[in-house]
């Protein structure tokens, strides 16, 4: 009751602050608007990706009420070891955690996927068969890096002083120099230290994170792909889930603990902190905390942005990726070598193909557009007479009206035209063409550009599947013709294609054209390429059918529309900064429970292990078990096959110390109410005492609107249980050496 009274007092205080108490006839209407504003902006239930170094008392106290047993300093400390020291940025876009005093890293299988695939060959296919190093000298070198957070510094004043008095366009131009001047002060190459500045609350606050980067990261273990991706695209973003999404790496440094390139003399890193691993289990309702690096949310998005996303951007992306995946899949299931070659690319395309399809469906289903409009109406009411804010929503409307006609075309360039690997590779040669056309270009500059092009071509060839790509090229070119306004087509391209190949309404026309492109491009002909780089000239490059195709579309976009998109983004950012400032002024009491959008800076979220009811008469338990794996298993199936050894062990219930005694089974995955997003892949799920329970790896389909709007009832984070991880390493992989270096909590 005290909490309810306090909230009502806070809300009435907001009204008093605005001076509305004098306008009694409108009080009821205004009161409703204010309550709407507070309820929309105040984090509810387990919503929130909080900065662990800046936890307010209210947020920390909420964590304690839910079951946290640690102090603030145990969560984040500069002077002492704390949980933050065990959490790292893994590769370019995931999270990992240190789980031993010898620098052992746990992360997701899909985060380590490229390294596992890169270490694999047809004869030693670690992606297919799995891999575990039984000693440190068997660990495999990778090109990965990891970054530890050293400290954070609020640099808002320095940034704002650096751009003081500048208009928005000049501010944007100056910001990189201002950032550099600030981060240069903390740069320490010898110790791997570098600063990175993050904009918080849409440019209303700036925080510098100082990271220490380690560059010698070695593959220690990974389950077979059938385990690590069990369920494939069918189960992606779905619960129930039975995926063993984990991989194991180790970070190495010099003998004195400094970062270093790969060197046989390097030793495992002695971390400041590592996570004990709990095999005690948990029950429905237990506290769960997730640390990590969520990549991006836009919780303060406007109704205009949601409308554009629902009607143009997401449907275009989904439709184009659907075509690309279809043709890749056709070849991957036919040939293991092609599957290995395309595996990493396919996984990346497929993951967000399903996400954006689900996001649109959830945004529409839960009327998020309508909710945003209601809030914006309340904001506009409050903003009347305030010069800084009263035109924000009308300016948003004008900005979206100016860009919307071209949004779909931009998606068709990015996801369609250069979605063909050949066209994508050809488009990269535009910079070489620029140098070849330049008067009096230095021979050294041209040589440098052709060498870079040759290296890029080599990388493209290594990953190219001709059959699927030719189909992609034909299909996406035809889709652009049919779906994009003719006024936005590159001048003359489709007319020339019609003259040479026939009716553009016919699929066969585009297939014939694509066949000729593949047959004649020098990008796929070693002799032609060698002759070109020996005597490079613009005319030869421009005559190449793959280059002329890609260049026609890319140049059409960059020449006519790229500046419009830049202006649209810049104006949106300018409006967003003011809008966010206005939101915080309008709701001062709610600011204590507001958090900045995710931007790949360290965050902590908290919640509970929790079952849920996704729809009428359906209940989802909070765990999945080995029983469910046996029910899904289909021998030889592309998505639901598993190693014979695993099936035998499951049928014998040979689960060892990892068994859940209450269920007499092995818990494979579980769900929590935590608020996460992309970038949290591999994040540790931690209990109230700081022990590792599992690894976060996915969200549930019913709440895929989470980048824009958190659903307090249906949002769930899908996690692989660490007991299943350890069982796979120990019982399935035979790598008890890895288990022996962990600190197990029983």
DSSP state of 728: I
Question: What value, to the nearest 5°, has the Cα angle with vertex 672 and ends 667 and 676?
Answer: 125
Residue 204 predicted with pLDDT over 50: yes
> Given this model, what pLDDT does residue 92 score?
85
Q: How far apart are the first and last CA of the chain?
A: 39
Residue 152's closest CA among 82, 293, 54, 80? 54
What's the rounded Cα separation, in Å, for the pair 733 and 731?
A: 6
Contact predicate 95/89, CB 8 Å: yes
The pLDDT value recorded for residue 351 is 81
* Residue-wise pLDDT tens digits, 77-121: 988 999 999 999 999 899 999 999 999 999 999 999 999 999 999
Residue 247 vs residue 31, higher pLDDT: 247
Nearest CA among 559, 357, 526 for reference residue 454? 526
* pLDDT level of residue 352 (50, 70, 90 thresholds): confident
Answer yes or no: is pLDDT of 22 > 50: no
State residue 1's pLDDT score: 28
Question: 500: Cβ–Cβ under 8 A, 6 or more apart, which residues?
Answer: 513
Q: How would residue 16 be classed by pLDDT, with cut points 50, 70 and 90?
A: very low
| Cβ neighbours for 335, distance < 8 A, ≥ 6 positions apart | none
Has residue 41 got a pLDDT over 60? Answer: no
- Confidence (pTM): 0.87
Could you confirm whether 681 is annotated as catalytic?
yes
Largest CA distance in the chain: 84
Q: Which of the following is catalytic: 578, 681, 683, 705?
A: 681
Q: How far is CA 96 from CA 85, 351, 608, in A?
A: 11, 19, 21
Which of 62, 85, 216, 245 is labelled catalytic? 245
Closest CA to 426 of 512, 555, 548: 548
Output the pLDDT for position 45.
59
Query: What percent of the chain is modeled with pLDDT above 70?
Result: 94
Distance between CA 623 and CA 548 in Å, rounded? 54
- Give the span between the Cα atoms of 192 and 68, in whole angstroms: 33
Q: Looking at residue 347, what is its pLDDT?
A: 85
Closest CA to 553 of 492, 471, 504, 503: 492
One-character DSSP codes across 676-703: --TT-TTPEEE-TTS-EEEEEEEE-GGG
Kindly report the CA angle at 659 between 743 and 100, in degrees rounded to 5?
A: 15
Predicted confidence at residue 31, as pLDDT, reads 37
How high is the mean pLDDT of the chain?
92
Model confidence over 608-625: pLDDT tens digits?
999 999 999 999 999 999
pLDDT at 26 (0 to 100)? 40
pLDDT at 54: 86
Q: Residue 172 and residue 630: Cα distance in Å, rounded?
A: 56
**pLDDT for res 590:** 80
Higher pLDDT, 37 or 86: 86
Q: What is the mean pLDDT of residues 15-42?
A: 36
Distance, CA of 289 to CA of 62 (rounded, Å): 12
Question: What are the φ/ψ torsions at residue 361 (nearest 5 degrees)?
Answer: -60, -40
Name the pLDDT band for 402 (thresholds 50, 70, 90).
very high
> pLDDT class for 565, splitting at 50, 70, 90?
very high
CA distance readout (Å), 383 to 374, 393, 442: 14, 10, 58
- The CATH-assigned architecture of domain 50-145+215-299+597-746 is Beta Barrel (2.40)
Segment 52-78, tens digit of pLDDT: 988 888 899 999 999 999 999 999 998
Q: Domain locations in the chain?
A: 2-41, 50-145+215-299+597-746, 420-560
Q: What is the mean pLDDT of residues 707-728?
A: 96
Quick: pLDDT tens for 645-668: 999 999 999 999 999 999 999 999
Across residues 151-162, what is the average pLDDT? 96
User: Is 110 labeled as catalytic in the residue annotation?
Assistant: yes
pLDDT at residue 516 in the model:
98
Catalytic hit among 110, 242, 273, 706: 110
Asked whether 506 and 529 are in contact (CB, 8 A), the reply is no
């Amino acid at each position: 009751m005290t909490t309810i009274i306090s909230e009502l007092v806070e809300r009435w205080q907001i009204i008093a602050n605005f001076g509305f108490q004098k306008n009694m006839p409108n009080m009821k209407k205004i009161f409703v608007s204010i309550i709407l504003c507070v309820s929309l902006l105040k984090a509810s239930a387990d919503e929130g990706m909080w900065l662990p170094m800046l936890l307010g008392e209210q947020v920390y106290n909420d964590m304690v009420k839910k079951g946290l047993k640690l102090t603030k300093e145990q969560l984040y400390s500069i002077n002492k070891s704390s949980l933050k020291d065990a959490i790292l940025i893994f590769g370019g876009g995931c999270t990992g955690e240190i789980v031993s005093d010898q620098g052992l890293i746990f992360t997701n299988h899909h985060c380590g996927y490229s390294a596992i695939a890169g270490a694999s060959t047809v004869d030693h296919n670690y992606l297919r068969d799995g891999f575990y190093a039984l000693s440190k000298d068997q660990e495999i070198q990778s090109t990965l890096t990891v970054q530890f957070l050293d400290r954070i510094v609020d640099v808002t004043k320095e940034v704002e002083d650096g751009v003081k008095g500048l208009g928005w366009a000049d501010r944007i131009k100056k910001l990189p120099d201002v950032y550099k001047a600030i981060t240069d002060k903390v740069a320490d190459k010898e110790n791997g230290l570098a600063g990175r500045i993050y904009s918080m609350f849409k440019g209303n606050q700036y925080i510098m994170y100082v990271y220490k980067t380690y560059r010698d990261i070695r593959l220690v273990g990974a389950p077979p792909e059938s385990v690590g991706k069990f369920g494939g695209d069918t189960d992606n973003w779905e619960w129930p889930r039975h995926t063993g999404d984990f991989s194991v790496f180790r970070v190495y440094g010099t003998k004195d603990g400094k970062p270093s390139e790969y060197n046989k003399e390097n030793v495992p890193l002695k971390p400041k902190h590592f996570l004990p691993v709990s095999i005690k289990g948990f029950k429905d309702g237990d506290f769960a905390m997730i640390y990590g690096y969520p990549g991006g949310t836009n919780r303060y998005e406007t109704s205009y942005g949601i409308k554009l996303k629902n009607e143009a951007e997401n449907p275009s992306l989904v439709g184009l990726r659907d075509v690309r995946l279809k043709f890749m899949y056709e070849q991957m299931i036919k040939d293991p070598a092609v599957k290995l070659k395309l595996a990493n690319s396919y996984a990346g395309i497929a993951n967000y193909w399903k996400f954006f399809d689900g996001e649109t469906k959830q945004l529409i289903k839960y009327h998020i557009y309508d909710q945003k409009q209601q809030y914006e109406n309340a904001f506009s009411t409050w903003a009347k007479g305030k010069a800084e804010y009263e035109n924000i929503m009308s300016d948003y409307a004008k900005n979206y009206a100016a860009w919307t006609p071209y949004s779909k075309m931009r998606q068709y360039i990015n996801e369609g035209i250069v979605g063909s690997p050949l066209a994508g590779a050809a488009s990269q040669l535009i910079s070489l063409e620029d140098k070849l056309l330049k008067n009096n270009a230095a021979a050294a500059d041209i040589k440098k550009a052709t060498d870079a092009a040759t290296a890029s071509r080599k990388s493209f060839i290594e990953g190219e599947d001709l059959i699927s790509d030719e189909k992609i090229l034909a299909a996406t070119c035809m889709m652009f013709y049919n779906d994009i306004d003719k006024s936005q087509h590159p001048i003359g391209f489709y007319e020339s294609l019609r003259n040479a190949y026939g009716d553009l309404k016919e699929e066969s026309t585009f297939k014939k054209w694509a066949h000729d492109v593949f047959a004649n491009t020098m990008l796929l002909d070693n002799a032609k390429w060698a002759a070109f780089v020996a005597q490079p000239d613009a005319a030869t490059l421009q005559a190449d059918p793959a280059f002329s195709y890609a260049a026609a579309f890319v140049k059409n976009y960059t020449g006519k529309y790229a500046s419009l998109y830049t202006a649209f983004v810049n104006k949106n950012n300018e409006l967003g900064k003011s809008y966010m400032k206005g939101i915080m002024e309008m709701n001062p009491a709610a600011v204590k429970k507001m958090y900045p959008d995710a931007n790949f800076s360290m965050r902590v979220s908290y919640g509970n292990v929790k079952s849920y009811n996704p729809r009428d008469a359906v209940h989802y338990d909070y765990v999945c078990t080995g029983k469910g794996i046996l029910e899904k298993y289909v021998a030889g199936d592309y998505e639901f096959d598993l190693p014979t050894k695993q099936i035998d062990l499951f049928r014998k219930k040979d689960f060892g110390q990892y068994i859940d005694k209450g269920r007499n089974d092995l818990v494979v995955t579980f769900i929590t109410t935590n608020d996460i997003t992309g970038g949290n892949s591999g994040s540790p799920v931690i209990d109230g005492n700081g022990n590792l329970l599992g690894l976060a790896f996915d969200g549930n389909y019913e709440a895929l609107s989470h980048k824009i709007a958190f659903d307090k009832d249906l949002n769930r984070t899908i996690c692989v249980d660490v007991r299943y991880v350890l069982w796979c390493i120990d019982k399935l992989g035979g790598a008890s050496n890895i288990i022996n270096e962990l600190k197990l909590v029983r």
